[in-house]
């Protein structure tokens, strides 16, 4: 399955990129409290990101690796281990528009149990997480 969500943020690309490519920024806009297993000051190519979060009553574990990184343009992380997804590839794109940023998340994912469950349960989880993430991102840059 593929999922895409775009938002315009009231801040320049370099600020949005630095915010999104850091654990601090991730904690601020991720819709669930994060428990870090490993934590870096900022993320770069090759960074391993490992954390737990609670989605409703279920604890989720995600371990991802940054596999592509072009400062102020994009970065991509792929899930190495995670629940409930068999795989999840996440691409973050940053596009300047004057003093604002067009930010796009593109996600490829599968629960590993077929198309029907991906289109229903898998997509519901992804949409819930990324709708809240974008709402929180907007709040983080409201009074730049």
Domain ranges (residues) in the chain = 2-140
Closest residue by Cα to residue 30 from 6, 51, 4: 51
Q: How far is CA 133 from CA 31, 91, 115, 128, 137, in A?
A: 6, 14, 25, 9, 6
pLDDT in tens, 91-127: 999 999 999 999 999 999 999 999 999 999 999 999 9
Fold of 2-140: Alpha-D-Glucose-1,6-Bisphosphate; Chain A, domain 4 (3.30.530)
0.85 surpassed by pTM: yes
Closest residue by Cα to residue 138 from 34, 42, 31, 41: 31
Q: How confident is the model at residue 39 (pLDDT cuts 50, 70, 90)?
A: confident
The distance from CA 29 to its chain's CA centroid, rounded to whole angstroms, is: 9
Cβ neighbour number for residue 85 with a 10 Å cutoff: 20
Query: Is the pLDDT reported for residue 2 higher than 90?
Result: yes
Position 44 scores a pLDDT of 94
Tokens of 88: 């999840």
Position 42 scores a pLDDT of 87
């Amino acid at each position: 399955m593929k999922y895409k969500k775009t938002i315009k943020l009231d801040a320049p690309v370099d600020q949005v990129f630095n915010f999104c490519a850091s654990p601090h920024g991730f904690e601020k806009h991720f819709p669930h409290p994060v428990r870090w297993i490993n934590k870096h000051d900022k993320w770069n190519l090759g960074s391993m990101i490992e954390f737990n979060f609670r989605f409703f009553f279920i604890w989720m574990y995600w371990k991802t690796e940054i596999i592509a990184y072009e400062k102020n343009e994009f970065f991509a992380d792929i899930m190495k281990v995670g629940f409930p997804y068999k795989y999840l590839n996440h691409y973050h794109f940053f596009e300047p528009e004057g003093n604002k940023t067009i930010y796009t998340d593109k996600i490829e994912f599968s629960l590993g149990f077929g198309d029907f469950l991906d289109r229903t349960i898998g997509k519901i989880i992804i949409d819930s997480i990324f709708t809240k993430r974008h709402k929180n991102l907007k709040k983080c840059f409201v009074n730049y």
